[in-house]
Structure 1
């Protein structure tokens, strides 16, 4: 099944519960389910991109801080999908390109990627934390329309950027979350109508010190929304961040050796 993974960088669980009105409306109609998720440690971006996309904890992967700038040594969703004959794409921060395509990132070479042999075959990668989420969602939709990827990663940064500038308990941070929900309300109905399976989550949360990286609940508790026929929508499921990679591979129908959350999946997803 074609699948879209949306990683809303830096989105705290409580703010997701309070501010994402469109996503919760879809859940209320029986189209999706909302879960709490604890991120792995340290609660930092690059380590947790790796965790979400490979199912490997930061300490195990060696991607233990944001300054580790090298290709991943693990197999990601992109690798499994490409090797299974599927098409992959990403509209994402440039660290994702560095992890799975080429490192170091060269904006002239890598910002717009068209390389069927690479794990991320088609991509639009940005390197400015203030790159507008509105543009990022448009980049993603362009990739989806042009290349019809089986797996598409969408990774906007403005929520995290607002948190670093203003902190967790700020109107700027909450309003960036509301704006992301608004962009999803613009694009997601069409994805669902066309049969896409959609997962929306975050890498980590945010604290009042305008940072993250530790063990505070506001830093480690993040949302997980799932939508589509591949998901059981079981309210009692208790997914782990390390299980997202395997769960998505299962939905894509590609061979993998990653842990997964069977309770998240319907019987139609091969469970």
Structure 2
């Protein structure tokens, strides 16, 4: 099986809000053209450790990326490494910590913000470094990378949901409306990407609590969504994917050799 893949990480989106606020994604689910799964994120429920978990399949306690201030290249093999080793093209529109994990650390904006280097794991990138960088710009960055480079694997990572959660908390109009806004932005691109043959996964690293933070074990902090869309997915409602299986599942879709755990039930 060889498919192109877009992995979207909506930073800080709790499952409870995704389950009621993401109207466009839920329309695909209700039409039988997508599945929505509830994942429990690994611990700690923090961003940089869970970027590493999602993109390498390795839990933070084993990767050594155990808090947000661990600023170094990953020591693990990521989707980007497996894809480029197999001769595929990779791209990312993402927060600068992703560049620091897989391309170069520390991040130097003038050098790394716009990346085009076929010798790096993330060959083509637009990386931002403020949490309020508009999601609208981020999705435009992603579409530019897709149309300019036709990547086999594209990682898309907006931050405004998490930013709203830290400013206002979980049970607030601002947090819920930031999720709705991301869903509306996705509506501009999603069918276009599916029509172009991409398999699409939409997930989150962690959720959010009413203290305007995350790091612990509350359901609203750990429970996150995974939407899958595309003809390579089984849409089996009984599948139980894990966050550590996203990397391997993406590698299976790409058809590249890897040694990561896979949730076979989500695939046809």
Q: Same fold (TM over 0.5)?
A: yes
**Which string of whole-angstrom CA distances, capped at 9 and with x for unpartnered residues, describes residues 122-166 of structure 1?**
000000000000000000000000000000000000000000000
**Matches of 1:212 and 1:27, distance apart in 2:** 28
Once the two structures are superposed, the pairs formed by residues 91-130 of structure 1 within 5 Å of their partners are 91-130=93-132
**CA shift at 1:65, angstroms?**
0.1
Counterpart for residue 162 of structure 2: 160
5+ residue gaps, structure 1, are: 267-271
Alignment of structure 1 residues 231-242 onto 2, 5 Å: 231-242=233-244
- The match for 1:269 is none
**1:184: how far off?**
0.6
Q: CA deviation at 1:193?
A: 1.2
In 1: Cα distance, 2:253 partner to 2:30 partner = 23
Give 3-state SS (helix, strand or coil) of 1:6's partner: strand
Unaligned runs of 5+ in 2: none
Following superposition, the deviation at residue 27 of structure 1 comes to 1.2
What does residue range 224-263 of structure 1 map to in structure 2 within 5 Å?
Answer: 224-263=226-265
Q: Residues 31-79 of structure 1, C-alpha deviation per residue, up to 9 Å, x if partnerless?
A: 1100100000000000000000000000000000000000000000000
**Aligned to 2:257, what secondary structure does the other structure show?**
coil
TM-score of the superposition, structure 1-length normalised?
Answer: 0.98
Provide the rounded CA distance (Å) in 2 between the counterparts of 1:44 and 1:8. Answer: 13
Question: What residue in structure 1 maps to residue 218 of structure 2?
Answer: 216
Q: Deviation at 1:199?
A: 0.1
SS of the equivalent of 1:189 reads helix
Q: Which residue of 1 aligns with 2:81?
A: 79
1:69 aligns with 71
Give 1:230 shift: 1.1
Aligned residues: 266
* Alignment match of 2:50 (pick from 28, 45, 48): 48
- Equivalent position of 2:15 in the other structure: 13
> Residue 200 of structure 2: SS of its match in structure 1?
strand
C-alpha RMSD of the superposition: 0.4
Q: Secondary structure at the match of 1:3?
A: strand
Deviates more, 1:26-35 or 1:195-204: 26-35
SS of equivalent residue, structure 2 residue 154: strand
Distance across 2 between alignment mates of 1:149 and 1:31: 24
Aligned to 2:176: 174
C-alpha distance in structure 1 between counterparts of 2:120 and 2:112, whole Å: 11
Moved over 4 A (4+): none
TM-score w.r.t. the length of structure 2 is 0.99
